[in-house]
Amino acid sequence: MRLSIIIPTLNESSHIKNLVNTIKTLDNTEKEILIVDGGSTDDTVAQVKKLAENSSNIRLVENPDKYVSQGFNRAFQLTRGQYISLIGAHSIYPKGYFSTCIQEIESGSCNVAGGRLVHKGDSNIGRAISYCMSSKFGVGDTEFRTMRKKMYVDSVAFAVYHRSVFESAGLLDEELIRNQDDEFHYRLNKAGFRILMLPDLEIIYFVRDSLAKLFSQYYQYGFYKPLVIKKVRSGMRVRHLIPSLFVLYLFTLPIAIFWLWWLIPIIIYTIGAFIYSFFNDAPLKIKMIMPLVFPVLHISYGIGFLAGIRKWLIFK
């Protein structure tokens, strides 16, 4: 078997059939698809079983532990592929995605390859979120979200790996519910493996459709990041600290009653949010929402990071 594709799912009945059929036709790579279900309560499992009846290369893997790390590790033991890919169910992949990634790995230029995320939203709020998540002001220097050049990166989404990477570096860390791919990629970088981003391979990624869901998502990203850093200290980046420092600063704003100059950072932040919200090609109705999205991204991550420090570094 050339390629094993692992897809974690939970209540994906409206997407799973189309996703599997699309993946089968992306290229001519010989592939098997392992769908790892974390306890769906809709008819996802029934659909997968029906798909598997018509193809010996489609398999359902039950994941009683629910989370991605445990599900991937369980599925990996069943894979037969020379190459392994972990992909998301809420994304659309371009033609030739897997074959191009494999070609790059086989050329010797890298050990891991993946594309660039193109963020999409289905609602006005979702579209505003997609613009902010593609902005350096929103997510810092996260290359696979903001960069458009072929380059070696710290991490990449929905990657293709040579099997030997896992045999050498191990599987996903099951203590991590979020950021498990970041921790794994930092581990690979530390071990000398090379991760290559191919910007011509544009993966359409559908973002959250509400500010509340976005807050929850980025709170969890922030919450587990200190644990990632504790495990792989070389993964520490300045951008990881800035949101939490910003949150701490916000708590000190009342002292501006005595020292007005203390307002300078929040003024600079507000100007930055305004510039990145209105100086882009988004429709005006989307631009009007973006100044709300940036603080949600930053404050949720910052609060999560501080809570994670308390949980994983101080009282762990």
Each residue of 224-239: pLDDT tens digit? Answer: 999 999 988 776 788 8
Q: pTM of the full predicted structure?
A: 0.90
The residue count for the chain? 316
pLDDT digits (tens, 9 = 90+) for 45-56: 999 999 999 888
Cβ-contact 107, 28 below 8 angstroms: no
- Give me the pLDDT at residue 252, please: 95
How far is residue 316's CA from residue 307's CA, in Å, rounded to a whole number?
12
Taking the chain (316 residues) in runs of 10, the rounded mean pLDDT of each run is: 93 87 90 94 92 91 93 96 92 94 96 95 95 93 87 93 94 92 93 95 93 97 93 80 96 92 96 96 96 98 96 78
Give the rounded percent of residues in the chain with a pLDDT score beyond 90.
Answer: 79
> Strands 58-62 and 31-37, how do they pair?
parallel
Name the phi and psi angles at 270, rounded to 5. -65, -40
Domains of the chain: 1-89 (3.90.550.10), 234-314 (no CATH)
How far is residue 143's CA from residue 141's CA, in Å, rounded to a whole number?
6
Q: Over the range 225-235, which residues count as b (16 or more CB within 10 Å of their CB) and which as e?
A: bbbbbbebeeb
Question: What stretch of H or E contains 304?
Answer: helix 290-308
CA angle, 85 then 207 then 273, to 5°: 125
- Give me the pLDDT at residue 55, please: 87
63 burial class (0-12, 13-18, 19+ CB within 10 angstroms)? buried
- Give me the pLDDT at residue 239, please: 82
First to last CA, the chain: 42
